[in-house]
Each structure stands twice: as structure tokens, then as C-alpha cells.
Amino acid sequence: MPIHTAIVHVALHTPSHSGVGDLLSYASAQPLPPGTLVRVPLGKREVLGVVWDAAEATGELPEGAAMRPVAGVLEGVAPLALPWRRLVAFAARYYQRALGEVALAALPPQLRDLQPDQLARRLKRPAKALDQDGSENAIQTIALTAEQERARARISSESGPFLLFGSTGSGKTEVYLRCVQEALEADPTAQALVMVPEINLTPQLEERFTTRFAPRFGSQAVVSLHSGMTNPQRLKSWLAAHSGAARIVLGTRMAVFASLPGLKIIVVDEEHDPSYKQQEGARYSARDLAIWRGREQGAKVLLGSATPSLETWHASRPPTPEDPEGGRYVRLAMPSRIGAGALARVRRVDMNQQPRRAIFSAPLLAAISERVARGEQSMVLLNRRGYAPVLHCADCGWKSDCPHCSAHQVFHKTDRTLRCHHCGYTVRVPRACPTCGSPDIHSMGRGTEQLEEQLGDLLSEVLRPDRTPARIARIDADTTKAKGALEAQLAQVHAGEVDVLVGTQMIAKGHDFRRITLVAAVQPDGALFSSDFRAPERLFALLMQAAGRAGRDAAYMAAQGTQCEMWVQTFHPQHTVYEALRKHDYEAFAAQQLKEREEAAMPPFAYQALVRADARTQEVAQGFLTAATAAAHAAGLPGLDAVTLFPPVPLTIQRVANVERAQMLMESGSRTALQRFLAAWQPVLQATRSAPEHKGLVRWLVDVDPLVI
């Protein structure tokens, strides 16, 4: 038997809020450096862990105590570096999660399952040779505009972090490429991390980066990391990044935890997008962690957006006499489009003056018809998939409610189903009302399926220049389920095989459509009067991003002799959101919103956290939060005097999959006070859960800096 001479402290993914502790101790036959990946026993299982602290000599154990030995070491994988461990430790501490949970979630799923011998065999497989040695091939670049060059020069000479505030079509991606190129050429071991908000934006960005950098560094030097990849693909990309073989990592929010020992630059494209905030497990913000990681690792951080989040916009405010220090970010403006292309002209249609129940106004339909007849493309945006949000019985008032959620089942006409978009419960559409038997069942509201169908009818007589009928396509979560479906549909749009593209927000962000000259938002008003104080910000960003899909190719627009347009059908044409959109005036919109936020003491002028509770009944969920609040006051927890705790309330959709959900909001003018209180409250929450009256509690979690309240 081996003689165990050292104790190692290992981070494991233990059950959430189990009270086991962040680190467990194991005996090792030899000292293991921090960051080493090991297989260790946990209960009856054997799991992956990360050695966190330096090994220490085995001491005397308490009588009757035994220390279980490390089962194996994953040889061939270099220990995870200190900057990576510090990032994980900060994320766990700030977002109030267990250290091992964050650490193991940041590693590829397949790595957690491989035994040391299996990993050793995988690492022995011959790697594909790089297709270029990179020694003589120059990177082919394009000339920068004056605005792009000014931004690049400041990024090169200053430390940042930077906000690249560029209008849609201003060439932000080219600035990213040039800054990454400078970092890689300056240091042969340098690595770059480039993040995008959604998976569907990764392939086109990967193609662009590969085209630019493969001739110099080889195609294997550019890898992707996102949840749409298979587990073997993710492991391969992670190992390439961890070893330094991958010079550029492209990915979604999970990529912020990639092991990049040579990290020199981080790019966060469309930094305003809420997709950067994880909504399950450890609810971290990848954008905020990117800022923290860049500072800790000495890497430059570049945030890019045409519609920055108000938090980022406020953090990048320039110094003024009233605020001599200004923000902590450097704001770089690029207001002009490449090739002197014009921004879309915004036209508002007052739907109060249109026929009742009209989906498309006559002026908008005429404008789309004209574009089709000229061979141009149009895009119609409705952020609701399905045919209709609900079915309704005119006789008894029955609605297609989900039996497991406090939400409606959405009518999908394509496959004649009613589908809950929250729990996935699906049934066939009934032939008659399930309550009264009446056959008079109607759809209420509209989804992208209905828009596609209506346009097919309304444009049936409209012919393209080659005298063929108009071609309409739809892109949403329903049409892109199959592997490769999204790429195939986008390729059709780029090839000009689609005249009118209907879709959800999936089509509004980041895509470089060259022939779209008209964009229309048909039902955007729902967000104007939401209880969520961030709803106007999100709506404005979505519409500005959508407007940016039109007229991106200045040469094409000049050849067509037309002007790109953004049409907005609304019952509130004078609303401040639409007024600012008409002028493409993000700065005025942001100033107005920030003034309201400051008066109401809301982020970014205050800090928030939520505690959410899921239970079998709403009474148990709210009872747990009420009891935990009382316990916090009784204990006089540190920081409580600077934190406001609001009463618990049900979530907007309070029941999902037969689980009731409640939450309570906390606010503070001090981030430090809020963090100090949350850290002290964790054991109180755990103890409160153990009380008999909370037996029906399913789970609870803390959400720091929530985006949805």
C-alpha cells in the first residue's frame, strides 16, 4: 500500500447548500501543486476535483478519524493557474455559490467523467498538424476608417477597460480583429478571448477570425466554446486553450471561465445583451467577470455595443466639472457607418388610425411590396414565437392554460399543438372547447407563425423582378431546432433566396445582412408598460439593433438608389422610446433613463440582490423568506443596517412545472454592505430551511445583480 505523506485540500462539486464546506481534505502519496486535477472518492462515488491549496505534511488525526486517499491524478493536464483559481474564488464569493460548484461547472463536462487512464489515452492521440507554421505569412488586413484608427490607437496606448460605442455597421468587429492581432503579434504566447451573447453568432464570427488569422497561426489556433458543441468538441477546445495551443477562444458566457494562461485581451461583443447573465445555478454576469478577470490578469478588456447597458454607459461617463473623476471605463465613439452608409430612417405608424385587428398597416405592406418588387429584402420582427399566445373559447371563456404552470399554452399551427414554453408540456389542439364543448375556439394574439402565414397571403400577388412570387422565411427557436438548421437558413438570406424574413430577436442582433433595406417591428408596445424597470432599456436596444440590420452595405444601397427604413407599428407613437429611436439618439435616451434611475435609487445608483424560493405551495415559499428575514433581524447581521429587505412576493409567472416560486428583493447604496450581509445570511438561510414548517421547500438561491425582477 502507498504511504500517504501529504494532505491536499480539494474543491468538489458538493450538493448545493449542503453545508459540507468549500474544500475537503484527502491524503496523497506525494505533494500535489495547487490547480492539479484529481479523482477523489465522495461518498460512494468517485468525482473530479481541483487541488486548491498547497499540500501540507500529514499530521496527527483525531482518534477514530480516517482520511480517504486521492484515487488518481489526471496526468498530462497542467495544473490550473493561480489567476484562474482566483477568478473562480471571486465568482463563488460574489455570487454566493459554493467554490467547488463554480470550479467544476467551469470545466468541460467530459473532463469530469474521464478516468486518468482514459484521459491519458486521449492525450496520446496525434494532434492535427497546423496547416501553417505562421513564420512567414502576413495577416491580410483592410484599411481602417479615421474613427476606427482613433479607437485602435487609444486601445493600444491606454489600459482601459474600454467601451467601444459604435453605431450598427460602424465596423466594431474590424477594431476587435486589429486589437487581437496586435496582442498576438506582440507576444508569441499571448491569447485572446472573444465573447458573443448567443450561440448563433459564434459560427459567423469564427469564420471571420479564422479567415483573418489562420494563414498566420493555423486554423487550429482559433477555437470555440459554447453549449451547442458536443462534449468531445468542448473538451478539445478547452484543452487547446489550457495548453496555449489555441491563440483565440470564441464563445458565449461560459467562455469567461476558459483556462487561458496567456490571456492578453478580452472582447465582449454586444455587451448590453442580457444573455451574458447566467440564469441557472451560479447566476454570474460574464461581462462583469470579464472586467474583473482583465484587471487581475493584466489583460485589456474591450466592451462593444451600439446600445450599451446603462450600467456600462454610466461607468464610462467622461469627467465633468461636477464629476471630475468621471467613470472607470474609457468611452470610444464610432458614430459613422462604414462607407458613409446612412442609418435607417425610422417611420412610426399610429395603429390607432388603422383598421381594428390589423396585423400589417397599409403603408407598411405597401413599403414591403415595393422592396420585393425591386429585388430587395425586408425583415419583420415579432419577439413571440408560435402562431398565437393563447386559444380562447368565445362561449365560456376557456383559455389554453398550462395545467402545470401559471401561464398559457401557446398555439403552434404548424404541428397543431398547444405548447407551454416554460415547462414544455404539449398536447394536441382540441377540436372543441374542453369545458363547454363549443367548437367556437379562436386564437388570441399573434406569433411569428401567424405573421409568416399572413404575409404569404398579403404578398401572394407581389412579384420579384424575375416575375416569380415573393419568398418568405421564418427564423425562430422552432425552425432552428435541427442541427445546422440556423446556418442553412441564414445562408439562404445571405444568398438572396429570401425576400421577407420573419423572426424573433434571434435575427435582430449581430447578423451582417447585406441586402436588407427595410426592417419592421409590428408589435413592440408590450415592453413599454412592464413592471420591470429595465424593460424600456431592453426594448430600445432591441429596436436599435434591429434597425441596424438595414442598409449595412453602402454600395448596394447606392446602386439601388433607395434609403433604408425602420418601421414601427405602435399605439403610442409619441412615447420617449420611439422619439429617441427616430433620432437614433441613444445618448438622450440613456440620459433620461439614468435620471429616472437616480431619482428612484435604482441600478446603477444602487445595488440589488434577490433571494428566490421554490416550494410545493406559495405559502411555504413565502413563509421561508419571511422566516429568514426575521432571523436576519434577530441576529443583527453585519451590513443589515445599510440594506433594505422588501417583503416576499410571487414571481410574475409564479408556478412552473407544479413548483410555486417566490422572491424577495434587497437593495443597498453600498455594494460592500450588501455583500457583507449576504455572506452572513447564508448560514441563516440554511438553518431556516431545516425548520419543520419549511418541509415543502424545494430549493432556494441568491441572485446578485439580477436582470429580471
What is the per-residue pLDDT across 530-564, written as a single tens digit (0 to 9) for each?
888 999 999 999 999 999 888 887 788 888 888 89
Q: Establish how many alpha carbons lie within 13 A of residue 132's alpha carbon, considering only the half-sphere containing its beta carbon.
A: 18
Q: Please determine, for residue 508, whether its predicted confidence score (pLDDT) is greater than 80.
A: yes
The CATH superfamily of 146-334 is P-loop containing nucleotide triphosphate hydrolases (3.40.50.300)
The pLDDT of 84-104, averaged and rounded, is: 95
Residue 564 known to bind ligand: no
Please give the pLDDT value at position 168: 85
Q: Please determine, for residue 132, whether its predicted confidence score (pLDDT) is greater than 70.
A: no
Concatenate the DSSP letters of all residues of 547-592 into one string.
HTTSS--HHHHHHHT---EEEEEES-TTSHHHHHHHTT-HHHHHHH
3-state secondary structure 93-120: HHCCCCHHHHHHHCCCHHHHHCCHHHHH
Backbone angles phi and psi of 446, in degrees to 5: -140, 150
Full-model pTM = 0.92
Please give the pLDDT value at position 343: 86
Confidence band, pLDDT 50/70/90 cuts, at residue 129: very low
Domain range list for the chain: 6-124, 146-334, 341-385+447-599, 387-446, 607-704
Residue 501's nearest CA partner among 346, 382, 386 is 382
Q: Greater confidence, 160 or 346? A: 346
Q: What is the pLDDT of residues 215-257, one digit of tens each?
A: 888 888 999 999 888 999 999 999 999 999 999 999 999 999 9
Please give the pLDDT value at position 562: 85
Q: Greater confidence, 368 or 124? A: 368
Averaged pLDDT score across all residues of the chain: 90
Q: Please determine, for residue 659, whether its predicted confidence score (pLDDT) is greater than 50.
A: yes
Please give the pLDDT value at position 4: 58
Helix (H, G, I), strand (E, B) or coil at 434: coil
Confidence band, pLDDT 50/70/90 cuts, at residue 170: confident
pLDDT-above-90 percentage for the chain: 66
Q: Please determine, for residue 521, whether its predicted confidence score (pLDDT) is greater than 90.
A: yes
Q: Please determine, for residue 81, whether its predicted confidence score (pLDDT) is greater than 90.
A: yes
Please give the pLDDT value at position 222: 93
Per CATH, domain 6-124 is 3.30.497.10: no
3-state secondary structure 184-221: HHHCCCCEEEEECCCHHHHHHHHHHHHHHHHHHHCHHH
Name the least confident of 383-387, 553-557, 622-626.
Answer: 553-557
The pLDDT of 8-12, averaged and rounded, is: 92
Helix (H, G, I), strand (E, B) or coil at 498: coil
Same fold, 146-334 and 341-385+447-599: yes
Residue 134's nearest CA partner among 279, 297, 247, 5 is 247
Confidence band, pLDDT 50/70/90 cuts, at residue 6: confident
Please give the pLDDT value at position 55: 67
Per CATH, domain 607-704 is 3.30.70.360: yes
Please give the pLDDT value at position 262: 96
pLDDT-above-70 percentage for the chain: 95
Q: Please determine, for residue 140, whether its predicted confidence score (pLDDT) is greater than 90.
A: no
613/182 Cα distance (integer angstroms) = 48
Q: Please determine, for residue 122, whether its predicted confidence score (pLDDT) is greater than 90.
A: no
Q: Please determine, for residue 2, whether its predicted confidence score (pLDDT) is greater than 60.
A: no
Q: What is the pLDDT of residues 664-674, one digit of tens each?
A: 999 999 999 99
Residue 290's nearest CA partner among 400, 197, 406 is 197
Residue 569's nearest CA partner among 376, 343, 358, 344 is 358
Burial of 383 (0-12, 13-18, 19+ CB in 10 A): buried
Q: Specify the fold of 341-385+447-599.
A: Rossmann fold (3.40.50)
> At residue 115, what is the residue type?
Q
Q: Please determine, for residue 16, whether its predicted confidence score (pLDDT) is greater than 70.
A: no
661, 614 Cβ separation under 8 angstroms: yes
Q: Please determine, for residue 130, whether its predicted confidence score (pLDDT) is greater than 60.
A: no
Burial of 31 (0-12, 13-18, 19+ CB in 10 A): middle
Residue 423 known to bind ligand: yes
Residue 168's nearest CA partner among 315, 274, 269, 267 is 269
Burial of 137 (0-12, 13-18, 19+ CB in 10 A): middle
Please give the pLDDT value at position 76: 85
Please give the pLDDT value at position 345: 93
Q: What is the pLDDT of residues 442-499, one digit of tens each?
A: 988 889 999 999 999 999 999 999 999 999 999 998 888 888 888 889 889 988 899 9
Q: What is the pLDDT of residues 670-707, one digit of tens each?
A: 999 999 999 999 999 999 988 888 888 989 999 999 99
